[in-house]
Amino acid sequence: MEIYLIEDDEIYAEFIRKALLSQNTDWKIRHFISGEDAEKAINGKLPEVLIIDYKLPGITGIEFYDRIKSRVKEDNKVIMLSALDDGQMVLGFIQKGVRDYVIKDENVVDSLKAILDGKEDDLYLFN
What is the CATH classification number for the domain harbouring 86? 3.40.50.2300
Asked whether residue 68 is domain-assigned, the answer is: yes
The radius of gyration computed from the CA coordinates of the chain, to the nearest angstrom, equals 13
| pTM summary value | 0.89
Asked whether residue 97 is domain-assigned, the answer is: yes
Asked whether residue 78 is domain-assigned, the answer is: yes
Asked whether residue 35 is domain-assigned, the answer is: yes
Position 83 scores a pLDDT of: 85
Asked whether residue 92 is domain-assigned, the answer is: yes
25 burial (CB, 10 Å; 0-12 / 13-18 / 19+) is exposed
**Predicted confidence (pLDDT) at residue 90 exceeds the cutoff of 50:** yes
Position 49 scores a pLDDT of: 96
Read off the pLDDT of each residue in 68-92 and give the average, rounded to a whole number: 85
- Give the range among 4-13, 88-97, 107-116 with minimum mean pLDDT: 88-97
CA distance 48 to 83: 24
**Predicted confidence (pLDDT) at residue 94 exceeds the cutoff of 80:** no
Give residue-wise pLDDT tens across range 20-59.
999 999 999 999 999 999 999 998 789 999 999 999 999 9
**Number of structural domains in the chain:** 1
Position 126 scores a pLDDT of: 45
Higher pLDDT, 122 or 51: 51
Asked whether residue 127 is domain-assigned, the answer is: no
- To the nearest 5 percent, what fractions of the chain are helix, strand and coil? 45, 20, 35
CA distance 77 to 4: 10
Average pLDDT, the chain: 88
